[in-house]
Amino acid sequence: MGGDARNPDEWRDTHFQVEGPAVHGLQAAFLDNWVEAGQSVQDDVAQLAHAEALKPVGKSQVQVVKTTAAANWSPIATLFHVLLILARHKVRITTAYFVPNAAMVQLLKETVQRGVDVQILVPGPHHNHRMAQLAQEDEYAPLIQAGVRMWAYQPSMLHAKAVTVDDTVACVGSANFDQRSMSKDDELALVILDEVVLSELDRHFDEDRSHAMEMRAEDYRQRGLFRRAKATVAGLFRNQT
């Protein structure tokens, strides 16, 4: 299903090939989940834990961040929090599922109030999880009114997940900007310091945004009664979407 959204059935996604020392972080995350799942560490799997140090490839500095279910702030939630706190000029968020909790919504508003240009790109009419889309709609108008700019991607389901901050740092991986990724699911993120990678991700954002419709606060304030009722019901399940 991944691809370049050449038609509504081909999702828009972004994939990465990781080489060099960061691979050890990915291997460690795999071993952690493997053991947690109750699997024995056989010889071929154990070899991953004793692999020879990998030499750097390219100039990227990469940190692997793994998270599991957490009662409060998970490592991924903390990472997103830190990225927003450190932002000084620009934050761009591409996410398949955008259902942040109240604390993260407030942090997004505070980030804008500091003068940071916050831009968010989410799926539009081809969303594959209608409950998640309805659950997040109540947050659109308040965020847009606060100064957050948001776009709905039109050609197909948008499944990419990336955050870039100030042309300085990028965060990519499996985590969405939603409560499940920040508190319930096992996720993996790469924090990347590399101007070339950031430039490419920002180019992707610009290109995707050219195929998206900018959201207006009034569109979500003026929803019909039935649509508002569905969003209210979906909101009861925000923690599960």
Residue pair 29/49 in contact by the 8 Å Cβ criterion: no
d(CA 206, CA 201): 9
Give me the mean pLDDT over the 202-214 stretch.
96
In a domain, 179, yes or no: yes
In a domain, 50, yes or no: no
Any residues with CB less than 8 A from the CB of 218 and at least 6 apart, and which? Answer: 141
In a domain, 128, yes or no: yes
In a domain, 74, yes or no: yes
Cα-trace Rg, the chain:
19
Bridging pattern class, strands 162-165 and 117-123: unpaired
Domains identified in the chain, total number: 1
pLDDT in tens, 113-134: 999 999 999 999 998 877 767 7
Structural domain boundaries enclosing 69 = 59-240
pLDDT in tens, 55-98: 888 889 999 999 876 666 788 999 999 999 999 999 999 999 99
| pLDDT at site 110 | 97
pLDDT in tens, 5-50: 788 889 999 999 999 999 988 988 888 887 777 777 665 555 655 5
- The enclosing domain of 78 has a CATH number of 3.30.870.10
pLDDT in tens, 146-173: 999 999 999 999 999 999 999 999 999 9
In a domain, 190, yes or no: yes
Any residues with CB less than 8 A from the CB of 95 and at least 6 apart, and which? Answer: 120, 121, 122, 160, 161, 176, 177, 178
In a domain, 21, yes or no: no
In a domain, 224, yes or no: yes
In a domain, 29, yes or no: no
Residue among 196, 149, 150 nearest 170 (CA): 196
